[in-house]
Chains A and B, each alone.
Chain A
Amino acid sequence: MSAGEALMPPAGDPAGDETTVPADAGRWGRLRRSPTFLLAASLVALMTAVALLPGLFAGLFGNGDPRECDLARSGMGASAGHPFGFDMQGCDLYANVIHGARASISVGVLVTVASSAVAVVLGTLAGFYGRWLDGILSRLIDVFMGFPFMLGALVVLIAFPSGSIWSVSLTLTLFGWPTLTRLMRSTVLSVRELDYITAGRALGATDLRLMVRHVVPNAVGPLIVLAALTVGTVIVAESALTYLGVGLHAPAISWGLQLSMAQNDFQSHPHLLLYPSLFLSVTVLGFILLGDSLREALDPRSR
């Protein structure tokens, strides 16, 4: 086996095969020079930090407890120490918006990671083995893609309401994996025909080894791009479902809930709508830009 390994190109560095995946160094270089990537990466890094340590950021103006509320301040505008003003419960809106990042980003990341994991396993198996396995999985994907994403999630969440981050994530994963899996399958289909796979097979590498060491690493690039875009889509979907009353429930703190609560009062108190939606759109923008700049870097055709 050791002889075979030596002959095969290391993963991620398919020397001399520039039409599939470019070299690591080249990718990095292009990425680092891309202003879009830098902007996107810093936005994503910032929002991730906010999601991980909300207390740190919320306390910046001295009133970091999102549940310290006084009805006497219900709906009031910005004042010293309260840059975003107060919500209808008289709670500090800035602290609430900051704490809302965690739920939204958690769902986005959870769903994307879970869907990608499913996509890598099923997409690789379907693409690598083809035949009946591919037939079954592709039809299954067709069935799932037949449901409109939002409508499907809406129906499931109405039927099984629980309102936790886990149930919302599970539901979104249920309808999110097919797109990623289909992409993974098609890249695996093209990768498995390449010479180094044939060479590996000729040298006696097992299917599992071929898939794990060579097929997946070389086919996963486009998936990563789509996954980054998916995080943004999922955050929007979570907010929309929560806004419609079937996603997360109070007492959770999330942007979708804040928007939902604001819908009755935004005419008289527009700041209730403004700040959560601002944070929501900036975060989604960050993930989508990140995906876009990754695609530019990874996709040889756009070079």
Chain B
Amino acid sequence: MEMKGKRRAVVALVAGLGLAAVTACSSGTVKSEEAKSAVFSIADGLPDHLTPGRGYSYNQYNALFAPLMRLSADGTLTMVQAESMESSDNRHWVIKIKSGWTFHNGEPVTAQSYVDAWNATAYGPNAWANSGSFANVKGYADLNPAEGKPKTKTMSGVKAADDHTIEVDLVTPDSQFPLAVATGPAFMPLPKVAFDDFDAYDKAPVGNGPFKVTGTPNLTVSMEVKRYDGYKGPQPGSDGIVFRFYSDLHTAYTDARGNGVDIFRVPVDKWPHVKQDFGDRFSAFKAPALQFLGIPLTDKRFRDPRVRKAISLAIDREAVNKSIFGGLNDPATSITSPAHKGSPANLCDYCSFDPARAKQLLAEAGGWSGGPMQIWLPGGLGYEPLFTAIANQLRQNLGIQDVQIKTLPGFTPFFEALSKKKVDGPYRGMWGSFYPSMAELLTALFTADGGGQFSTGYVNERMAKLVEQGNASGDAAEQTAKYVEAEKLVLNEAPVVPLFYDSYVYAWSENVTDVEIDLTPINITKVKVKR
């Protein structure tokens, strides 16, 4: 898997569009020439690909495409382009889509638009980033053979039964599949024009969403979209959006304080100041994301689980959260966060701060005799304060004389060191779930094919079985029970040290109101512009 993809996946947010009622302001009438149009701007990093199957540019996908369903901040699913999504056995799924919807070029959105898009995304030789979203769909393996070219270009498990019915067959039953469909950009449709030339389409895509591209965007500077009048979904509260691309969001922070740009993601080292600088104009969405310390489990100094538990007990998460994150994250008390549906708190009995027990556990395990302990992280990205604080606490609370941070220049060398097993101490780990299911996080981090398994170096087959049983179950309570049992199995062996549940922190200028941050992460159809 490509490294950059991994990194992006790690900070993955999830796509979707607003459905909740947008009422009064959305007259939808064409504005007269003189009227100032209500346009706001979003500060964003440089977009990678504007075709949803190919990248992680969620803000652009949200504007240009409408998802089948939308997952609200409270965890409920509402239909957008879909009319229904049903299954009797969690394996064979039938998705009905609404009729009368069109792409920005007038082409009707049909079941075939989805089937073609999904096949293109899953097709191995295309090497699209979100291909893995279809890994559990029947026929995915045929499009991604271990060697050579695939013999077919379509998945046997995806069919258009008629113009408005998509049928999907999964390899193993998965009750969480609707969540994946609602949040994964890979599940967006593509119009016929996309298939003429993928790369040309990628520069100015035609979607089925509330906004359409105007002109030819310069993807190193900015991109403008305006309201698509033929959009049948909930009407947006603005006439258009300007995406401004920043190489460093600290600049956006300064710009937004002067109302020069409207909505932006707050860099983590600015979190302690965001309240003072933006007052109520910021939001910290509790994301289904875990920050953790990975442990080099093959290193004999860390082989005893008591050593790993001691490390965990020596970290005062509350104090770190307060002074490093301005209190905007939550200290982890389990592996899955409360934002993961059904996750109970306090599953981890070694995630509290207890220096006495930490020292005792370390002594029982034979003490620390491995010389200096280094905490590895990618440098220059704002993570230094967090891991310096953790290093200080390990040194003081465990009585290990020399604990230092070890920075590598950026993510690429960091992941390289991880994959080559050069990392000889605890290291930065992070997983943001694509959708808020305990199964997603556990599968990603602790199964052999999981997208985040490289960052834990740990696989638990018994846990994978339990998660599979949970996935297959139709009963929510039974599902959760299976997932919790699975999580306990992992916690028992302490392969990682859970640190914090991450928040997505966004702030905005005085020009906009009704900014809602959720998993999407910006609910852009709701945003209104002050007149």
Write the residues of chain A forming the contact surface with B, with a CB cutoff of 8 angstroms.
67-72, 74-75, 88-91, 161-163, 245, 249-251, 261, 264-265, 267-268
Contacts and interface: CB of A to CB of B under 8 A. Distances in A.
Nearest to B276: A268
Contacts of A250: 379, 384, 388, 405, 407
Contacts, number: 62
Nearest to B374: A251
Interface stretch (B196-204, B317-325, B485-493): B317-325
Nearest 6 Cβ contacts at the A-B interface: A161-B409, A74-B323, A71-B319, A69-B392, A251-B404, A249-B407
Given A71-B322, A250-B405, A251-B404, 4 more contacts: A71-B392, A89-B385, A163-B407, A261-B385
B450 interface: no
Given A71-B322, A71-B323, A250-B405, A88 B379 contact: no
23 contacts: A68-B396, A69-B389, A69-B396, A71-B320, A71-B323, A71-B389, A88-B323, A89-B323, A89-B388, A89-B392, A161-B380, A161-B410, A162-B409, A163-B407, A245-B380, A249-B380, A250-B379, A251-B391, A251-B404, A261-B384, A261-B385, A264-B270, A265-B272
Contacts of A88: 323-324, 385
A271 B273 CA distance: 17
Contacts of A75: 323
Interface string B214-245: 00000000000000000000000000000000
A67 B405 CA distance: 12
Main secondary structure of the interface of A (DSSP, over half): loop
Contacts of A267: 273
A251 B405 contact: yes
Contacts of A245: 380
A156 to B, nearest CB: 13
Interface in B315-350: 316, 319-320, 322-324
B392 to A, nearest CB: 4
Nearest to B404: A251
Contacts of A71: 316, 319-320, 322-323, 389, 392-393
A71 to B, nearest CB: 4
Nearest to B384: A250
B319 A249 contact: no
A216 to B, nearest CB: 40
Contacts of B269: 264
A72 B270 contact: no
B153 interface: no
**Interface size of B as a range:** 20 to 34
Contacts of A249: 379-380, 407
B323 A67 contact: no
A152 to B, nearest CB: 19
Nearest to B323: A74
Interface in B341-394: 379-380, 384-385, 388-389, 391-393
B389 A89 contact: yes
Nearest to A161: B409
A214 B391 CA distance: 56
The residue among B276, B324, B388 with the most chain A CB atoms within 10 A of its own CB is B388
B276 A72 contact: no
The residue among A68, A91, A251 with the most chain B CB atoms within 10 A of its own CB is A251
Contacts of B393: 71
A268 B406 CA distance: 29
A73 to B, nearest CB: 9
A264 B322 CA distance: 16
A90 B393 CA distance: 11
B428 interface: no
B258 to A, nearest CB: 16
Contacts of B384: 250, 261
B395 interface: yes
Nearest to B382: A264
Nearest to A158: B409
Contacts of A264: 269-270, 272-273
A275 to B, nearest CB: 19
Contacts of A268: 273, 276
Contacts of B324: 88
A165 B393 CA distance: 26
Nearest to A162: B409
Nearest to A75: B323
Contacts of A163: 379, 407, 409
A268 B326 CA distance: 13
Interface string B286-320: 00000000000000000000000000000010011
A55 to B, nearest CB: 15
A249 B323 CA distance: 21
A70 B270 CA distance: 21
Contacts of A91: 392
B133 to A, nearest CB: 34
A67 B392 contact: yes
Contacts of B389: 69, 71, 89
A66 to B, nearest CB: 11
A261 B269 CA distance: 10
A90 B395 contact: no
A67 B407 contact: no
A198 to B, nearest CB: 55
A162 B407 CA distance: 9
A263 to B, nearest CB: 9
Interface in B384-423: 384-385, 388-389, 391-393, 395-396, 404-407, 409-410
A74 B410 CA distance: 27
Contacts of A89: 323, 385, 388-389, 392
A69 B387 CA distance: 13
A192 B392 CA distance: 60
Given A72-B319, A88-B385, A67 B395 contact: yes
Nearest to B393: A71
A38 B386 CA distance: 45
Nearest to B407: A249
A70 B409 CA distance: 28
A183 B21 CA distance: 75
Contacts of B379: 163, 249-250
Nearest to A250: B384
Nearest to B277: A267
Given A71-B389, A264-B270, A90 B407 contact: no
A72 B392 CA distance: 13
Nearest to B403: A67
B248 to A, nearest CB: 10
A22 B410 CA distance: 55
A245 B269 CA distance: 14
Nearest to A74: B323
B280 to A, nearest CB: 19
Nearest to B269: A264
Interface in B250-277: 269-270, 272-273, 276
B273 A90 contact: no
Contacts of B410: 161
Nearest to B271: A264
Interface in B106-142: none
Contacts of A70: 396
